[in-house]
Amino acid sequence: MKPIKFVALLLIVASLALTTQAATVCVEAETCATNESPMAVIRADAPSTGRKALEGASGNAYLEVPLGAGKTPKVKAGTAKIAVEIPAAGSYTLWLRTYWEGECSNTVLVQIDDQPPFLVGADATYRTWHWVKFPVSKMTPPPVMTQGGHTLTILHREDGVRVDQLLLTTSARFVPVGTEKTGVSP
C-alpha cells in the first residue's frame, strides 16, 4: 500500500472511532437554576426541613419532594430546572440517581427543553439510593439531543421522592454505579 493511501485509511479509522465513542455527561440535581415548592434542595450540612438529611448523596445534597407534600393532580406545582451541556449530538439514555420512599413514591416526570415530559422510575427499589433509566423498553427510542446547552426539568408527580444526580449517555451499555463524577467523560 502506498504511504498516502495508508494515511488516508488511518484517518478514516480514526474518525470512525471518534464518531462511535460514547459521550457521557453527569450533573448534580441540586445545581438546578430554579426550584419551585414543594420541590426542595436538601443539603446534608444545612437541612432546611428540620428533618435529618439522607446520607450517601453526591455533593451531600439532592432534590426532594417531601413525603406528605401531596401528589398530582391535587398538587400540581413543584419543578426544578437543571442546565446541562451536551458534548456531542446523539441519542441519549437518561439515568437518575434516586431514593424512593415506596411504591406510591417512586416516579418523577422529566422534560427535555420544551418536549413532552416522560415518566422515570416506577421500579421496586425503595429506601436506598439507586439509578433508574429512561427509556427502559427497547421499543422506546432514547431522546435525541443536539450539541450544546439544554434544560432538564424534573416535574413533581408523587411525594416522597429524591433525585441526587442526572446522567446522560450515548452508550446503551453504560450503567452508572454509586455516585458518578460530574462533568463530561471520557
Given the rule CB under 5 A, which residues bind Ca ion?
28, 57-59, 61-62, 164
Q: CA 147, CA 92: separation in Å to the nearest integer?
A: 11
- Beta-bridged to residue 151, according to DSSP, are 83
CB nearer Ca ion, residue 58 or residue 93: 58
Would you call 138 exposed, middle or buried from its count of C-beta atoms within 10 A (0-12, 13-18, 19+)?
exposed
The 10 Å CB-count burial string (b at 16+, else e) for 68-84 is ebbbeeebeebbbebeb
CB nearer Ca ion, residue 90 or residue 132: 132
CA angle 159, 82, 73 (to 5 degrees): 30
CB nearer Ca ion, residue 23 or residue 57: 57
Q: CA 122, CA 48: separation in Å to the nearest integer?
A: 27
Q: What is the CA radius of gyration of the chain?
A: 19
Minimum CB separation of residue 33 from Ca ion in Å reads 15
Minimum CB separation of residue 78 from Ca ion in Å reads 18
CB nearer Ca ion, residue 57 or residue 145: 57
CB nearer Ca ion, residue 62 or residue 100: 62
- Nearest Cα neighbor of 63 from 39, 85, 47 is 39
Minimum CB separation of residue 151 from Ca ion in Å reads 18
CB nearer Ca ion, residue 58 or residue 106: 58
Minimum CB separation of residue 45 from Ca ion in Å reads 13
Minimum CB separation of residue 176 from Ca ion in Å reads 13
Minimum CB separation of residue 34 from Ca ion in Å reads 17
30 Cα distance to chain centroid = 12
